[in-house]
Amino acid sequence: MIYRSMYGVPTWKVRSPFHELDLMQRQMDRLMDTLSGQRTGHVSAGVFPPINLTEDQDNYYVRAELPGIEADKLDIQATGNNLSLSGERRIAEEGNGVRYHRREREGGSFSRVITLPGDIDAEKVDAEMANGILTIKIAKAEKAKPKQITVRH
């Protein structure tokens, strides 16, 4: 496919097959925010907080970047094979008459639901916040843990 670049010169670019759908979703989100009276550019699910999900033999680990958020302002819930993380990031207003040259930090409510690869033991979830990184350790359910099978001979 040929696309026009910024300077009007045709170029060949490979785009994701879902590129147009992503653009349409973002436009619909902005439209719905405008119609509902919400600020555009608010922090939304799927964008904030960025996370890493890892596992070892006994546990899943979710690490989320949450700079400037107090640990007691977070709501973490675990059920089945899902972990939900929600809270609110507040950014102090700069005051009246301030003109922004760049505004990349946004505040607002966020909510993420992370589907884990297997069942978990919701009674064995531990969360710790250090240096703006939230680390959640989630024990795997016994039925989800790998079992060592010995072969008789």
Residue-wise pLDDT for 106-142, tens only, equals 788 888 999 999 889 989 999 999 999 999 999 998 8
Interval 42-87: pLDDT, tens? 444 445 789 999 999 999 999 999 988 888 889 999 988 899 999 9
Which comes out higher in pLDDT, residue 2 or 27? 27
pLDDT at 38: 54
Instruction: Give the angle subtended at the CA of 46 by the CAs of 115 and 81, to the nearest 5°.
Output: 10
This prediction has a pTM of 0.62
* Rounded Cα gap, residues 63 and 19, in angstroms: 28
Residue predicted with more confidence, 54 or 28: 54
Residue ranges and CATH numbers for the domains of the chain are: 1-40 (no CATH), 42-92+106-143 (2.60.40.790)
pLDDT of 146 > 90? The answer is: no
- Is residue 13 predicted with pLDDT exceeding 50? yes
Would you place residue 105 in the very low, low, confident or very high pLDDT band (cuts 50, 70, 90)?
A: confident
Q: What is the separation of C-alpha 78 from the centre of its chain, rounded to a whole number of angstroms?
A: 16
The strands making up 133-140's β-sheet, listed across from edge to edge, are 51-55, 59-65, 133-140, 120-130
Q: What is the pLDDT of residue 39?
A: 53
Residue 153 CA to residue 148 CA, distance in Å, equals 16
Q: Which of 5-19, 59-73, 87-101 has the lowest mean pLDDT?
A: 5-19
